[in-house]
Structure 1
Amino acid sequence: MENSSVIVSFVLAAYGNTGELKYLYFSIILLWYLSICVANAVLIVVIHVDRRLHEPMYILLCNLCVNEINVSTSLYPLLLSQMFSDSHEVTLPWCFLQMCFMYTSAPAEFCSLAAMAYDRYIAICHPLHYDVIMNTERVFVMILLVWTYSVLVFILSFSFIFSLKFCANIIDNVYCDHQLMIKLSCSVSVHSYVADIFFAMMSVFIPFSLISLSYMKILSVCQKTSKENKQKAVTTCTPQIVSVSNLFVGCIFYFTDFRILVTHVPDEIRIILPMYLVICQPMLTPFMYGFNFPKIIQSCKRFLFNRK
């Protein structure tokens, strides 16, 4: 392990020995992963098939569901494969691949919510110009910008990791966390800490600021409108507010873990908290956004049960 050139794989040490419980854990994780994929896939298919849902809000929701499947797939297959592994080894290329998907999905999540918040801002604050501003072409440009921005944030933040030389290969986690991998490198420079702050700013705080700005303007307009319009605005905006709040809490868990020395927190909690976003958010999205809207509920009934 002293020679960095022999490091071709990492050991995910957080799995430990679960004994016979691994079958129970495997079943729970598999069921949860399949539920996430099915719930989000149903929304994607329903929105694609039903032309009445080819509106900016639902197209942006469809993009968000794609990202939920993407981030879940970056974690759960590895978790499932490692449940029955004795060595808990993961190859270096696979570790890098997992990081690419996970840390591209994070800014994509926030940027997608920022795009949806902007859509609600235009719909509520500029209803007469909504069809002109939020036309189909512009919506697809926004989606393209979301993914381009997310990929660029990942490349600018973590591309230096691919050239690191590692002097150890024990990762105290159940997935390839970039901070833990940096700690295993033979030389840790200040660039790694700068990259961490840059990633947090670009993937969380800038999109969160844009989301907050959109809702502040919506709130300002709602103060001057009728009670009925206020209720309608609250109904359409509540899912996003809940989702963004949940994301922000999850980000606090993630960015404080392994960066702050916490000795009184049990290892199991310390390992699960950084995965809070990947565990909860992909399942929260389809139920908070999709199955909460009457038009989507009706479309799902027609699609799944052939009801009118």
Structure 2
Amino acid sequence: MRNSSQAPVFVLEAFLDVGLLKYLVFAVIMSVYVVTLCCNVLLILVICVNRALHQPMYLFLVSLFVNELYGSSGLFPLLLVHILSESHAVPAPLCFLQVFVLYTYTNVEFYSLAVMSYDRYLAICRPLQYRRLMSGGRVALLLAGSWLGPAAAIVVMLSLTASLRLCGNAIDTLYCNNYSVVKLACGGTAVNNAYGLAYTFVVLAGLALLVLYSYARILQVCLSGSRRTRRKAAGTCGPHLASLLNFSFGCFFEIAQSRADMGAMPAVVRAVMSVYFVTCQPLFNPLLYGLNLAKVRLLCRDLLLRRL
């Protein structure tokens, strides 16, 4: 094959032949997907229906939960089909669509968590100016930037990948991955690599610095404040920090295994960890915030009791 337009399909080679156990694997993953959908939809409804929760922090949470639904739907349906299928071929347009969804999901997640850390910094460190600094227009601008910025960046990345001449169509992953497609190129990937490095260091490093700055200032206030201030900061920042660390761990492992030789690690472990960032995070966030934020927890309980 000479280029991507002549590659009608990509073959995902990371699927293991587990015999009849595939039905058990299918049932487990389907259960995770259903629970993920239900938890995220429930919390979105609770926040949208209750006007008392129409505050910046909860609006950012809605954006985060919508992103969890978006990322999960980009992985699970196709993954479930391939678990039961004997063929693991993916049409090229569908493969690039999955790359777009999963990469925008990853970037929106980082953008959202960075914005939420900035919001907590303003609420804790500059409470008297919070309403002015986090106005409705500012919230709308931050939400739009969290989605449109990553989408535009990934469109550019995919346009560079689609123009490459490919010398194969086998991808050693459970889902379509841009780096795996780029590795199939016969050559001429310098622009792709330069764009990826530039985006990582300029944008993602900038978001990391924003998070570090926000938490450094929050920690400074906590150390010099009262016990009540420290308790309030821990209650609002604890779930966010746990979510950020969990997601960063999943992304770091996926980047490490795609670029380093992890042949010594069992194939099952590599397969599970490769989808950790888009499997556990959408399930982890709604449970974490739903259980830790008292307002959300009580409203969820009231909503479920009314339905019952």
TM-score w.r.t. length of structure 2: 0.94
Q: Which runs of 5+ in 2 are unaligned?
A: none
Counterpart Cα distance in 1 of 2:274 and 2:195: 18
3-state SS of 1:11 partner = strand
Distance 2:202 2:240 in 1: 20
Corresponding residue for residue 65 of structure 2: 65
- Looking at structure 2, the residues matched to 24 and 198 of structure 1 have their Cα atoms a distance apart, in angstroms, of 43
What is the aligned residue count? 307
**Counterpart-to-counterpart distance in 1, 2:213 and 2:67:** 23
Deviation at 1:199, TM superposition (A): 4.2
Pairing of 1:10-89 with structure 2 (within 5 A): 10-89=10-89
Corresponding residue number in structure 2 for 1:264:
264
Tell me by how many angstroms 1:57 deviates.
Answer: 0.5
8 A Cα contact 2:4 2:164, kept in partner? no
TM superposition shift of 1:195: 3.2
Q: What residue is the counterpart of 2:239 in the other structure?
A: 239
Question: Following TM superposition, where does structure 1 have runs of at least 4 consecutive aligned residues deviating by more than 6 angstroms?
Answer: none
Q: Distance in 2 between matches of 1:281 and 1:4?
A: 32
Unaligned runs of 5+ in 1: none
Tell me how far apart the structure 2 counterparts of residues 167 and 29 of structure 1 sit (CA, whole Å). 33
Assess if the C-alpha contact under 8 Å between 1:113 and 1:240 holds in 2. yes
Query: Residue 291 of structure 1 aligns with which residue?
Result: 291
SS at match of 1:77: helix
TM-score (structure 1 length as normaliser): 0.94
Q: What SS is found at the alignment partner of 1:10?
A: strand
Distance 2:239 2:118 in 1: 14
Query: Identity over the aligned pairs, expressed in percent?
Result: 38
Aligned to 1:123: 123
Specify the SS of the correspondent of 2:247. Answer: helix
The change in CA–CA distance for 1:5 and 1:43 in structure 2 (over 3 A counts) is: closer
SS at the partner of 2:17? Answer: coil
Q: 1:177 maps to what in 2?
A: 177
Query: Any conservation in 1 of the 2:3–2:165 contact (CA below 8 Å)?
Result: no
The equivalent residue for 1:146 is 146
Q: For 1:199 and 1:250, how far apart are their aligned partners in 2?
A: 19
How far did 1:3 drift? 7.8
Aligned-residue Cα RMSD (Å) equals 1.8
Measured in 1, the distance between the counterparts of 2:19 and 2:210 equals 47
Amino acid at match of 1:136: G
**Which residue in the other structure is 1:279 paired with?**
279
